[in-house]
C-alpha cells in the first residue's frame, strides 16, 4: 500500500498488479478474497488525479463473485480481465492439470459480462498440446468463435522445463497454428511419435 501511495503521489496514473495467478493473492496469509480486499484498498486511496488499477492474471476457477462485484463498484478499477483459459477440451485441460471445459468457460464469461458492464476480456489458448486431437483442436475453434472476448491470443505449447508436457509426444511443430475466420485450428499433421503422456 505504501508503494502505491508513493507512486500515485509522484504522478503515476496506472498500477498493474501482476502475478502468475493474482486471484490467489493473500491465500498464503490465510485471507479469503484477498485480491478483492487489496483492490478495494487501492481504489480508496486519495490521489491528486484520476487513477487506474488493473491486475493480471485471473485463473478461471478463482474468479469469485466478490472479485467481480469489487471491480464493478470502483471506477478506479479498470474494467478488464485477462483470463488465460489455455484450452476448451476437458481432456486436454485435465492433462494440463487445470480442469473445467469450454462450456464452463463460456458461462464464466457470461457471468463476468453480467456483473461488470462494458468489461473487456482477454484470453489466451495453447494449441498443439501433446496428445491434442483434431477434435480437441476443433473444440478450441468453436470456443474462439463463441467467446466474443476483446482479445484472443494463441501460441504453441511452451517447452520450458520442468513441465511434464515437455516429455510427451507428439510435440508441437512450429508454424502449424492458423487463426482465421474468427477461429483457431491446427493442421492435422502431427509430429512423429506416439502419445506417451498420461
Residues 27 and 34 sit within 8 Å (Cβ to Cβ): yes
Average pLDDT across the chain, whole number: 77
Is 16 domain-assigned?
yes
Band (pLDDT 50/70/90 cuts) for residue 80 is very high
User: For cell 480508496, what's the residue?
Assistant: 44
**What local confidence, expressed as pLDDT, does residue 180 receive?**
38
Bridge partners (DSSP) listed for residue 14: 52
Residue 189 within a domain: no
171 domain residue, yes or no: no
Who wins on pLDDT, 193 or 148? 148
Say yes or no to pLDDT of 14 above 80.
yes
Predicted pLDDT of residue 129: 80
Residue range of the domain that includes 93: 2-158
Which is more confidently placed, 61 or 181? 61
pLDDT of residue 169: 55
Most confident stretch, 46-50, 89-93, 170-174, 189-193:
46-50
Mean pLDDT of 54-77: 94
Dist. CA 55–CA 43, nearest whole Å: 12
Give yes or no for a cis peptide into 51 (omega within 30° of 0). no
Q: Percent of the chain at pLDDT above 70? A: 73
Cα-Cα-Cα-Cα dihedral sign, residues 87, 88, 90, 92: negative
In a domain, 186, yes or no: no
Q: Is residue 139 part of a domain?
A: yes
* Residue position matching grid coordinates 478483492: 36
The answer to whether position 193 is within a domain reads no
Task: Provide the pLDDT for residue 163.
Answer: 59
CATH of the domain at 46: 3.80.30.20
Residue with more model confidence, 169 or 113: 113
Residue 192 falls inside a structural domain:
no
**Band of residue 56 on the pLDDT scale cut at 50, 70, 90:** very high
Peptide bond into 7 cis (omega under 30): no
- How are beta strands 183-186 and 177-180 bridged, if at all? antiparallel
d(CA 90, CA 129): 13
How many domains does the structure of the chain reveal? 1
- Is there a domain that residue 45 lies in? yes
Amino acid at each position: 500500500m505504501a508503494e502505491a501511495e508513493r507512486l500515485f503521489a509522484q504522478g503515476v496514473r496506472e498500477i498493474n498488479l501482476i502475478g502468475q495467478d493474482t486471484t490467489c493473492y493473500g491465500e498464503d496469509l490465510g485471507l479469503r478474497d484477498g485480491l478483492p480486499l487489496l483492490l478495494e484498498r487501492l481504489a480508496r486511496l486519495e490521489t491528486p488525479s484520476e487513477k487506474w488499477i488493473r491486475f493480471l492474471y485471473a485463473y478461471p476457477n478463482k474468479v469469485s463473485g466478490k472479485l467481480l462485484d469489487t471491480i464493478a463498484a470502483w471506477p478506479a478499477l479498470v474494467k478488464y480481465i485477462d483470463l488465460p483459459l489455455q484450452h476448451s477440451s476437458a481432456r486436454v485441460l485435465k492433462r494440463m492439470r487445470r480442469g473445467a471445459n469450454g462450456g464452463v468457460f463460456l458461462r464464466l464469461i457470461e457471468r463476468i459480462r453480467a456483473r461488470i458492464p462494458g468489461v473487456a476480456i482477454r484470453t489466451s489458448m495453447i494449441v498443439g498440446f501433446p496428445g491434442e486431437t483434431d477434435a480437441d483442436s476443433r473444440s478450441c475453434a468453436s470456443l474462439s468463435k463463441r467467446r466474443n472476448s476483446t482479445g484472443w491470443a494463441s501460441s504453441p505449447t511452451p517447452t520450458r522445463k520442468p513441465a511434464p508436457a515437455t516429455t510427451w509426444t507428439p510435440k508441437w511443430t512450429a508454424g502449424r497454428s492458423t487463426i482465421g475466420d474468427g477461429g483457431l485450428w491446427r493442421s492435422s499433421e502431427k509430429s512423429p511419435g506416439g502419445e506417451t503422456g498420461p
